[in-house]
Amino acid sequence: MYKARVLFLCVGNSAKSQMAEGFAKTMAPPDVGVFSAGKNPVQTVHPLAVEAMKNFGIDISGQRPKSIEEVSEHEFTLTVTLCPESELSCPLLAGSPVNVHWALEDPEAATGPEEELRERFVKTAQKIKGLVSDLFHMGYFKAFVQQKTNLGNIINSLSEGILSHGPDRKITFFNEGAERITGFSATEVMGRDCHEIFGSPFCGPNCSFCDDYDIRNVTKRQYPTVFYNAHGVRKDFKVSVIPLVDSVGNIYGIVASFTDRSELKKLKENLKEKRSFRNIIGQDPRMIDVFEQIRNIAPHDYPVHISGETGTGKELVAQAIHYESPRSGAPFVPVNCGALPESIIESELFGHVKGAFTGATRDKKGRFELAEGGTIFLDEIGDLPMSTQSKLLRVLQEGKFERVGAEKTTSVNVRLISATNKDLKHEVDKGRFRKDLFYRLNVIPLSLPPLRKRKNDIPLLVEHFLEQAAEKSRSTPYRISDETLSVLMDYAWPGNVRELQNVIQFAIVKSRGGPITRDHLPLELRQAMENISRPGPAKKLRTEPVRDALIKFAGNKTAAAKFLGVGRATLYRFLENHPEALDARNR
């Protein structure tokens, strides 16, 4: 086992680098590995190089020119370039070795009588011998080893993870911090494709080396990303990427540093009450349970079926599952099956080839192909025609399908999340939905509560929609009266969160920037509330019982109204007309 390795580089690896390898093998300590390689190696060692080395008692006829790829599995301490081309395009190698350049004339480029050429090769060999001797006998190599060791110790002392790779994404450096944070050892990852090791782009959607990238566009930047370590544990990273630039300005790789912010994120969540998760607003225990289910579901690739009434946020939940998963770096493709005409739904999902039908003037990818490597979300899946259901079942079973009009089978790697506001079991019983497809989709069921069953979230949602509207219009914050909020709390919300958002937007327009009152709510909502409160005689409130109830419940008007047997809106109206009922502590 070598303690250190040196690599001599020259484009063709036929003469200078071969002679350097020959000398180094006779002078280097036994625990130092010696190699040579080239970017475009020739078939054999130059015969005049072999002849020149015999003058020094060294036979290199058994050496073979090698490509850089053939030696890339090794971690090098030092690279020595022996030609200008290798100096300018010295690759990023495993171990991030120290690099030095020996400026030597190229005997292969000389012309003239054969005897003169032999003499040039011998003179070049003599110079290389002196350089190699100085490298190993004058302490230079030990100095380079110490320099690399010192740099490695500094980098390994950092709490951050550090990795580097070239344009081919093969990892060339992986410090101890990276080992600790990711759970992978340097031995496991060195020389291997970053995406292959981590299962998906390490940088998530910010990867600069995905698809048809242009390395000239790689820039210095920072971003957060989600990562699943070697043990499947979710980590929240902050990543900083810096391009590596050579002496003439060409980018030949990147260095990425990353910190694990998972504990910090958990601490922040514990220090304040959680109000949202991945843009889903909610503090109600039912929603906290949904958030926990999303976290548990996300790492696993099984199909998920989301059920819930219209407007409960099924697409937001599907997005949250995707962006919490290892597939977060790939596309999330939503499809509303109910909005697509039956005549084109198969083409939309699976694509078509040119000439498949009238109007098919070119090949077109379907949504499944567009979601390759990521997640496809099929909303209102209960509206799919039976013919399309059969094809979808095959995709779930085999990951294969044919475009409309195509003979060639296409394979895809996607996660499928479906949703509906229908009772799919009932649809199966009625013969409108395939039983086998239902069981394939419903591997992990997730049910979303309607808004009427989590009314404690209504103030949070109202506040969120008001802030959102103010930010969008760049205006001062919008306000809503307590009585109006009470009315919203008492309403049944058949359209759920989406209906609440529409009501707030309507009220903002009607209030013209002033406080939103009951009169600014849509007429149908006010009429619905009047119809609810109309039956039966209104309960008479008196000042003293109201004051006592408010004191009893420490000013909590909701609890006081319930104790008094009236609605919140009724209590608010009474307090507006009888301010003396408010104890000084409850004002």
C-alpha–C-alpha distance, residues 22 and 545, integer Å: 103
Contacts of 184 (CB under 8 A, 6+ apart): 174, 178, 197, 229, 230
pLDDT value, residue 536 = 44
Which residue type, as a one-letter code, is found at position 142? Answer: K
Which of these, 22, 59, 63, 19, lies nearest to 43 by C-alpha position?
63
C-alpha–C-alpha distance, residues 413 and 229, integer Å: 21
Pairing of strands 304-307, 415-420: parallel
- 83, 103 in Cβ contact below 8 A? no
- 99, 93 in Cβ contact below 8 A? no
Q: Which helix (H) or strand (E) holds 235?
A: strand 234-245
Beta bridge partners of 161: 258
C-alpha–C-alpha distance, residues 581 and 204, integer Å: 58
- 258, 240 in Cβ contact below 8 A? yes
pTM given for the model: 0.59
Per-residue pLDDT of the chain (587 residues; tens, 9 = 90+): 788 899 999 988 889 999 999 999 999 999 999 999 998 899 999 999 999 999 999 999 999 999 988 888 788 889 999 988 776 666 767 777 888 999 888 898 878 888 889 999 999 999 999 999 999 999 899 998 888 888 888 888 888 888 888 888 888 888 898 898 888 888 888 888 888 877 666 665 667 676 666 667 778 888 778 777 777 777 888 888 888 887 777 887 888 888 888 776 665 555 444 677 888 999 888 999 999 999 999 989 999 999 999 999 999 999 999 998 988 888 999 999 999 998 899 999 999 999 989 888 899 999 999 999 999 999 999 999 998 999 999 999 999 999 999 989 999 999 999 999 999 999 999 999 999 999 999 999 999 999 999 998 999 999 999 999 999 988 888 999 988 998 898 889 999 999 999 999 999 999 988 899 999 999 888 887 776 554 444 456 888 888 888 887 878 888 788 777 777 778 888 888 888 887 645 55
pLDDT value, residue 271 = 43
For residue 199, the tally of other CB atoms under 10 A from its CB is 11
C-alpha–C-alpha distance, residues 13 and 126, integer Å: 18
- 331, 210 in Cβ contact below 8 A? no
pLDDT value, residue 204 = 58
Which residue type, as a one-letter code, is found at position 24? Answer: A
For residue 574, the tally of other CB atoms under 10 A from its CB is 18
- 516, 479 in Cβ contact below 8 A? yes
C-alpha–C-alpha distance, residues 226 and 229, integer Å: 10
C-alpha–C-alpha distance, residues 164 and 224, integer Å: 18
Beta bridge partners of 38: 67
C-alpha–C-alpha distance, residues 587 and 580, integer Å: 10
Q: What is the chain's Cα-based Rg?
A: 35
Which of these, 176, 174, 264, 282, lies nearest to 224 by C-alpha position?
264
